[in-house]
Structure 1
Amino acid sequence: MRQLILFGLIGLLLGSVARSQGQANNWYFGGGAGLNFSSGTPRALTDGSLYTLEGCASISDDDGNLLFYTDGSTVYGSDHSILQNGTGLFGNSSSTQSALIIPQPDTPGIYYIFTVDAVTRVGEVHQGVNYSIVDFTSNPDGIVRDKNTRLLNYAAEKLSAVIKSCDDNSVWLVTLSSASGTQTTVNTFYAYQLSSAGLNTTAVRSNAGFNSNDPRGNLKFSPDGTKLAIANAADGLYLAEFDSESGQVFNTQRLTINGSNFAAYGVEFSPNNQYLYSASSNNADTELGAGNHFSSLIQYDLEAADISGSQVSLNESGYFRGSLQLAPNGKIYRALSASYTEGLNYLGAIENPNAAGLAASYNDRAVNLGSGISYQGLPPFNQSLFNELDIIQNDLSSTELSLCDGDNYVLGYDPVSGASYSWYRDDVLIPGATSNQLSIRQPVAASLPYTETYEFRLDPNDGSCEKVGVAEVTYYAYPPTVSRISLIQCEDAATADGLSIFNLTEVESTLTGGDTTFEVAYYQTIADANTSSNPIDPVGYENTTPVETVYARITNPAGCSIINTIDLQVSSTTANTALLEGCDLNDTGFAEFDLSQADAQVLGGLTGSYDVHYYPTEEAALLEDSALELPQLYTNQTAYNETVFARVENNNACFAISTVELNLIPRPDFSLAAEAIYCAASFPEIQTYSPDYTNLDASRTYSYEWFPEGQTTPYLETNLPGSHTIRVTDVNTGCYREATITIIEEEIPIIENIEVTDATENNTATITLSGNGAYEVALDDEIGPYQDDLYFDGLAPGFHILYVRSKNGCTAIAQEFSIIGFSKYFTPNGDGYHDFWQVQGISAMVQPGTVIRIFNRYGKLLKELNPLGQGWDGTFSGTNLPADDYWFSVLLEDGRLFKSHFTLKR
């Protein structure tokens, strides 16, 4: 038998589905937009990662905790990062319903994402309908597997789902395609069954009853699963019936829109399944900019004999197209956009979708999305989530009811002919409760707030499914009744007229008994308080007479209120002014003050128990706003001089307000060199280091202390390297300044090496020194010039002296070195100049084992010289040899061999 009512499952199944609306608690859509419905009233979310012009889908767990969301291409987890393997799905953000997420029935942790691509362009490659699985059982953060498993090669941009039947927890996933599943003309419904065993990929097919070439627009089930609404954009709006047992679609009819062929896009059913809503527009050309569109929001009565004739226009405006979506709070929300790519930062809402005509109450600015932007899409869900009976019927919430202590309330639903009824309280059957209404009252012994859940079951007794309604009822205590409250404020400094400014919230904890769930509003007259009219701002309220009465209306979460009176009085008593001085530690005019040190000055002469609090301005002190909290030290905000205000209280009543002057005292002004040199060669000689005290105020008295020595002289005497700190303190104020000098012990330099390159046309020497000082070097002259560069070139053969000295004047050392070389000529004429030829740079310490031989041009050995002797005098066997070129061979002790010639001149 065809099942007309799908939601009311029996036993545990009924209870689990009835409480699964939390799956729809979080929406992510548009440009970074989101909503949370956990409190009934939608709260804007701006933490999402989604940017989509149309398609999107979200899913939460039964308790309303976000699990993941998608635009049909990328899957984002609850932390808004991409799930593992969560990219490349075959949906498309420009597809009307690019994705739909369905939990696998009776299979915790497994979720199917059904996707459909954008198919508005003829001839393009289509990805059709696919499914992917998000698995939380193998990865607690979720992983996408079985990605892009194909169901259809082509489909319209439509997906919708509903539970199958009363005794079967499986779900139908329905889409629209062609008979072959490949053509671009859609005329066939495909219904796929998802159960605990998985997805049956063999679809139930139904003739759509129309042929459409426009795949855009929503496909929606009625919450009870008996009807389907199909928006085919420019090809029209259609309504069909659905047999949930077989999965067949039948009795399709076309509905007119304003008597014309407006492009249908958004569709949705009322929670009571009686009304259909359509959002349509003249958007045949999607490239038109803002200001070129016209849209209408229409209600149809599905119980009317002429459904098209029952239409009522709820709104007509210049919007582009937009989706409609039923929410957990029983309202229908409308996506709003100005054009295809221009969004808006708010959503419209049908506030009472179960009401006929204009009583449905459309609100065009229902939800401010903050920084989020609405385009054309809203996330679809399994429509069965919204098939609950509204047994509260107060136009506020269909599932939650707040009552006050002692209230009576009647839950119920319109009577249905031939039906039978039963009621449950906290899952326990209420004996004798067989009417369509139930009067409830808070249990006598209940401790408030107290919550209980009522469940109403309606059995039509016509073979169709049982229907259910659930109400979570919370009873709240009335606000406490208190006697007249006196709020005593201090006189402000402007005039002594008994007037001041008040922070009325100072008495709020007394009015509410500390219960933060109570709301408090303030009024000047009892009439305004009784009618909640003309509330006053409680912070900064200015009394008009020295003694004045205002009124506080305290309201509990159920809306029950009491009114209490507050007598405003002004105290003209005074307290002492105070002065605190602080040392200017950074020479910028700022210091840290312990404001509590002013307490004794402020309270001087007062007897009794008083509290003192400090504020940056007089107004802040009057309103008790922005207190300068203790025990934290306060840093003045104005350089060198500042006034803060002390508020003196007696039993939380303002006694007086006085000033506290904060003055900055300069520190002793002196300077000390950052570094000094102590010559290691002078140790253990004592040296004196003195700061520059030129700027010290000679009229004041100072003390001196050096650390770590403990010396108390203005100067330091030491022979120890390291850091030394002096503290100079103004004896009268205690302000001090510290300075540190680092004494560096400069070591005596050590010549580690003199590396020479000799016997060449350009003889060089490279010096290597060790030591921590700043050294400079000179060659052959102790006076200089000195240089930093440790390299010399162009050196003459022979012996040289290297001089090394400290730039700081600490010490100087010297060392001789030699350059081996050979003279080009000699003149043995006895004049005392160049009378002998010898290899230069050899000594008893340098290459003494060198072998030197001299030959004539014919290779005859003439002389073997002693390398340490005077040299060759130009004779052979006592006879002077003639002027000529002579040859030599020099084998240095280090193994180097040189051969060349020189000239003997006569």
Structure 2
Amino acid sequence: MKKLIILLFVLNSLNTFSQGEANFWFFGQGAGINFNNGNATAVTGSSIDTNEGCASFSDANGNLLFYTDGIKVWNKNHLVMPNGTNLLGNPSSSQSAIIVPHPGNSSLFYIFTVGANNYNNNNVLIKATDGLNCYTVDMRLNGRLGDVVPNSKVDLSLGLNAQWTEKVTSVKGKECNTFWVISLVNNTFVSYKIDATGLINSPIPSPVNFYSNDPRGYLKVSPDGKKLASATQGNFGNLLLYSFDDASGKVANDGQFLISNIQQDGQNYGVEFSPKSSKLYCATYNSNTNKLFQFDLDNPNIASSKFLVSVNSGYRGALQLAPNGKIYAIVPPDYNNGTRYLNAINFPDELGANCNFLPNAMDLGSGRAMQGLPPFIASILLPVEITDGITTQNLNNTIAKRCLGENYQLTPINISGSSTYKWTFNGIPYGTSDALILNNLSFSNAGIYKLEVENIDDCGFRIVYKGEVKLEVYTPPTITKPSNILQCDDNNDGFFAFDLHSLKDTEILGMQSATVFEVVYFKNQIDADKGTNPILNLYTNSAFNSTDTLIARIQNIQNPICYETESFTAQVFESPNPPVTISNLVLCDSNLTGTDTDGFEKFNLKSKETEILNGQSAAKFTISYFKDIALSSPISNIISFQNTTANVQPIYVKIVNNSNPTCMVTKSFNIEVLALPVINSTFTFKQCDEDGIANGLTDFNLNEANAYLTLGDNSLTVTYHLSLSEANSGANMVTASPFSNAMQTTVFARIKNTNGCFRVAQVNLLVSSTSFDVNYLKIANACDNDGEIDGFRLFNLSENSNSIISQFPSGQNLSVSYYKNLTDAQLEQNEISQNLPYRNETSFEQTLYVRVES
């Protein structure tokens, strides 16, 4: 029993998988890549020249063993093995070959080949494909450089060679020491098992509904052995996703069509799964356009998760997962010419654009990638994942940027079984625990940390995992709570566009360098902590005159996870909005203050408040008044302020928002004392009693007093009132003509200038009963000798004036005026001019009326 245990132990210990098996790639025209240092490095010396299919394999430590194009097999020295020719693959077969180790013998390897149909220039089939075949390579032969074992070919095509596709893939079986090799013919997947005894030539068929009508395109199985993706090229091709059972080798007939619209998406060719088997990628082409799509296998509706990762000009090309966890993609310019560069999906398990597609990521130097990349057993590409105990991001083969003073740890995950750990720091042994804990990070902690994990899995396999993280340490910023922004609204619409960077950056940075740190602004704390949805442009407050809480995040420019946040508010305040011009506050001069001609009065400045506020709320603003433009001499008694400068004096006003005193506007207006009119303050208006009734009552035309009262100033306005109070108030004007002294013998004239200032004069109405003799009649005769006897003649009325005046006592300075009727004579209206001869208006005789007055 002890020997059996030791034997089993020895047998199992021979099987070592550490991802090193996939560390050398040889493909295309002399192209090669070495992944042994954790990065992809171009290598030269390759002998391969193939348009499509190829395969490579190395030992557990990453030492190259051999490679093939499906027809020839080259050893590590790039020489063809003695029997390594005429294999039945094809350089024009999509996958042509895949290499699988013998689980029970570390010296033996299987090369599985799939051929391709050969056509002439007229697209006529010359020779059909040779289907699926298997060859054995023994590394003990040819001086331990290896050779294809003579006569080791096994035809696995089930007699359907000519109908076989160009697809072949492999994955570890669920049972220990087993692999599955899967291929496709027509509508049937065929699986072959390899266990510790070697290849079991008992096919396990899995018929499905979809018939492969074009042999071209890649077949891949997911690293976890649960899914199978088949890309079929051609105008009627599809990308289908199936379930795979790594215990039985069966493919479920549950195919999901992921790409079937060839006209829209292109013809399917390359496929690959992400390391965690969470995403599927497919490369298509149509004419000269290459597209790369991603599908989320965790989405309940996988087809709906289709995401276009990139669009490039070029031909079809393969996708292949690499030991560094990246997926590399080829986009050659056309069928016959290759490309110097490989594109890369840097984080294949991340969703959408976060997968970080990078064009021209890998420079092949003198080599050229054509259309194919070497496939590998999917499960040997399960990477060791190193996380920081903070995020779930896999840090393997990345740069971890951390902050000075924080606690940090590196932990490998997804490793089952019994494991030993070896950490090194810059090449020096550093620890043997699974987690590497670095407390209070300093700049001296920066460097390269490498991890080697030796694991014995549940099947007794010795698996060596290798990982590497470059740690960089950066200075974190400091922050003090920024002051709030109190913003005066420039147009009082309740909104303002804040330039947060110009307003707050300097304050938040303080003495910290703007070349080392930057300030970013966010609308909420969640976004600020995540660094998502920053405020990129001007920020406009959320509601009318709102107070918005914002978050400032100061972060290290080279390492934004070194950050601090603080909140502040941005508030918009209504600005004072007085009219452009404030009208003068005027008072007429009076003797209430000094004399009524000194230009001084007492003003109620508060009476201007409504005009100054211009519709704004008095509760929101405070108005202050000043004597000087510097606002250094405030006016305390604003309701009774006596001007200090006669006649006109400017008053300066400051309007302030009560909630934000910085929202302030200054204006000015004038207070003005207006001059009163210059008048005769009393007048006795004499009128003769000429209405035929000698009762001392007659009608007056009060307007005749205007010239005397105004001293002849025609700019003054005169109205008449029955009382002094009414004259002062301007109420109840009386009709100036006719006005009978029977109503009142004293009237009051309100005499107003153009400024609206007035004085009041008293007018006494006096009626004289002296009049013509009741029988007086002056007759003016003239002969009708103007050549026409019609009863009309021109009269010089002024010739009669002296005779009329002689009827009155002398010394009265009397004047005579003539009228056509008594009413006009009484009211002194429509006087007949004495400057021109008067022609009688009725023939032969006309009565005129004479008015004599002093």
Name the TM tier (shorter chain): 0.3 to 0.5
TM-score by length of 1: 0.44
Bigger radius of gyration among the two? 2
Whichever structure has more strand as a proportion of its residues is: 1
TM-score by length of 2: 0.47
